[in-house]
Structure 1
Amino acid sequence: MCILFIYNGNEDVESDYRLIIATNRDEFYERPAQIMAPWEGQADVLAGKDVRGGGTWLALSAVTKKIGVLLNHPVAPTKTAVKSRGKIAIDYVKGGLSIREFVDSMREYFQECPGFIFVSLDFGNDYTKVHSYTKNTDNLEEHSEKYLGFGNSAPATPFKKVQAGRQRMQGVCQRLNKIHMKEQLVNELIELLRWEEKHLPDQVIEGQHPDNYKHLSSVYVHVPNIYGTRTHTLVLITKDGGMDVIEVTLRAPIDSQKPNWEKTKFRFKL
């Protein structure tokens, strides 16, 4: 489980920000991972690393001006689901292909992966282009809305927590839209990502996860000592070309009852 919220504010004349991203990575606590850092052999690409699989759930580059976020999409497994999804975000971000070209070049590979939704952001032009690719339906969709939310269901049928989080994100970004408010903006975005309210009833998540939907119905997921939200990532890009990347992740060994959070920051001038 993961969740992603996006504010695409390039045409919002009241805001100093052209793009804000807030996302959670949910994973089993015992699965080893490395914090965000320059990727192996790609100094201009930043990503955390899933040590067991060797890939990542989020990658970005201030050089190619791309961000890729991978979301799990549980669907009926296929016999050919043997390839890792972890390379998808890295390959998109470091390459020179548009998202449509990338999907076309990777379609055969995608069909051998477990279910996923891949969200791409290209901020190399005046307006950030946001697309989602859903492996289960082989559908690539462009999203032009100012506020977006994605989770572990098809984009057209979001979980209630995704809808609620998107609305809360909108309120935060409307109030704290000036650069001098950045500290409070970051704090409130982290609060959003640690929102423990359960958004039920929800037929979509209950149908998809009938046995444990209650644990998964909040933005911040916590199944004691087993599984939950392990990493928050924020990306703030201002209209004058400033880019802040902030990752807050649980330090291993993880004690979910007494979480020890570690913060990593990066700053770029686009």
Structure 2
Amino acid sequence: MCIAVWAWRSHDEYELVLLLNRDEYHERPTEAVSWWGDGEKRILGGRDRVAGGTWLCCSKDGRLAFLTNFREPDVCPNLKSRGDLPVRFLESTKSPLEFAEEIAKEADQYNGFNLIIADLCLKVMAYVSNGPKGKPTIVQLVTPGLHVLSNANLDTPWCKAQRLVQNFEKLLMKQEGDVPLKEMAEKLMQDTTRVDQDQLPNTGCGLEKESLLSSIFIDIDNDQGRYGTRSTIALCVRENAVTLFERYLESGLWKEHTFQYQIESMCQKEG
């Protein structure tokens, strides 16, 4: 299902600080974050080996995209893969808002999604969502500030989302100098606290499922298999330098790695 929290153009030193948990069935074939693709359109991101898409990706030309599912009781298995959307944005030349408007026209071809797309050179971030079902597709620019995205619309005040953004803000305000990505990922994104029943959202999925999914870090083992958080990404952007830390589950073991790169584009030359 995934959850993300970020500071966008609201920190004295960092253009973006982002934390994201990716939740999925443990048996689903997945590649940890790596560089893939060829030439100028190489992509840094994790990869779903079933459908080929991703939950988060970025590139050296300053483009970034990430995705969460919109929680709904009925999911159609025959629709297009939502994981294709972040990749499509990175491969396109459209601005975030242009791309969001393009996706809005075909939003009914996907199960419920929330998509954030950003051009760090243009300093523009957009949001597009086709949830909840039956409502008009949302397309909007993301304003500077702190934001949180779970499995409802942007900044919906679910309890776990509120707790995450509040703790994120406290930790971020205490930092002087470099943002400690690994520490932030461990302190904030491994929270297994579940919400009291009377504070659960009603998405039509039933109270038992809502409770199991109400923590920031999810770990469920039932008849359908083991499901939960398989990857935590912490990313920051400062002066066109991008750092990405990932803690990920592979063959039952937690591993970690870090990537760094410089944005190679006109925004670097003009800066």
TM-score range, shorter chain: 0.7 to 0.9
* Structure 2 residues not aligned, in runs of 5+: 264-271
One-letter code aligned to 2:259: F
Q: Look up the match of 1:149.
A: 148
Give deviations 1:86-122, integer Å, cap 9, x for gaps: 2100011222101222133334433111111111222
Which of 179, 183, 204 aligns to 1:187? It is: 183
User: Following the alignment from structure 2 to structure 1, what is the Cα–Cα distance between the partners of residues 38 and 82?
Assistant: 19
TM-score, normalised by the number of residues in structure 2? 0.85
Task: Trace 1:190-229 onto structure 2 (pairs within 5 A).
Answer: 190-200=186-196, 201-204=198-201, 207-224=204-221, 226-229=226-229
User: Following the alignment from structure 1 to structure 2, what is the Cα–Cα distance between the partners of residues 11 and 107?
Assistant: 28
Give deviations 1:195-248, integer Å, cap 9, x for gaps: 11223342425754423222211110111361010000111112x332101111
Q: Look up the match of 1:47.
A: 45
TM-score, normalised by the number of residues in structure 1? 0.85
Which of 126, 132, 152 aligns to 2:127? It is: 132
CA RMSD in angstroms, aligned pairs only: 2.3
User: Following the alignment from structure 1 to structure 2, what is the Cα–Cα distance between the partners of residues 176 and 215?
Assistant: 32
User: Following the alignment from structure 2 to structure 1, what is the Cα–Cα distance between the partners of residues 155 and 101?
Assistant: 22
User: Following the alignment from structure 1 to structure 2, what is the Cα–Cα distance between the partners of residues 122 and 28?
Assistant: 31
TM-superposed CA distance for 1:80, in Å, is 9.6
Q: Look up the match of 2:267.
A: none
User: Following the alignment from structure 2 to structure 1, what is the Cα–Cα distance between the partners of residues 50 and 206?
Assistant: 25
User: Following the alignment from structure 1 to structure 2, what is the Cα–Cα distance between the partners of residues 27 and 102?
Assistant: 26
Q: Does 1:59 align with 2:57?
A: yes
Please tell me whether the aligned partners of residues 185 and 232 of structure 2 are also in contact (alpha carbons under 8 angstroms): no
User: Following the alignment from structure 1 to structure 2, what is the Cα–Cα distance between the partners of residues 78 and 246?
Assistant: 32
* Structure 1 residues not aligned, in runs of 5+: 255-259
TM-superposed CA distance for 1:78, in Å, is 7.6
User: Following the alignment from structure 2 to structure 1, what is the Cα–Cα distance between the partners of residues 79 and 189?
Assistant: 31
Question: Any idea what SS the aligned residue of 2:15 has?
Answer: strand
Question: Any idea what SS the aligned residue of 1:171 has?
Answer: helix
Question: Any idea what SS the aligned residue of 1:68 has?
Answer: strand
Task: Trace 1:1-270 onto structure 2 (pairs within 5 A).
Answer: 1-8=1-8, 10-12=9-11, 15-41=12-38, 44-63=42-61, 65-75=62-72, 77=74, 82-125=79-122, 128-136=123-131, 137-155=136-154, 157-179=156-178, 182-183=179-180, 185-200=181-196, 201-204=198-201, 207-224=204-221, 226-238=226-238, 240-252=239-251, 254=252, 260-270=253-263
Please tell me whether the aligned partners of residues 81 and 114 of structure 1 are also in contact (alpha carbons under 8 angstroms): no
User: Following the alignment from structure 2 to structure 1, what is the Cα–Cα distance between the partners of residues 73 and 219?
Assistant: 25
User: Following the alignment from structure 1 to structure 2, what is the Cα–Cα distance between the partners of residues 205 and 232?
Assistant: 26
Q: Give the % identical residues.
A: 21
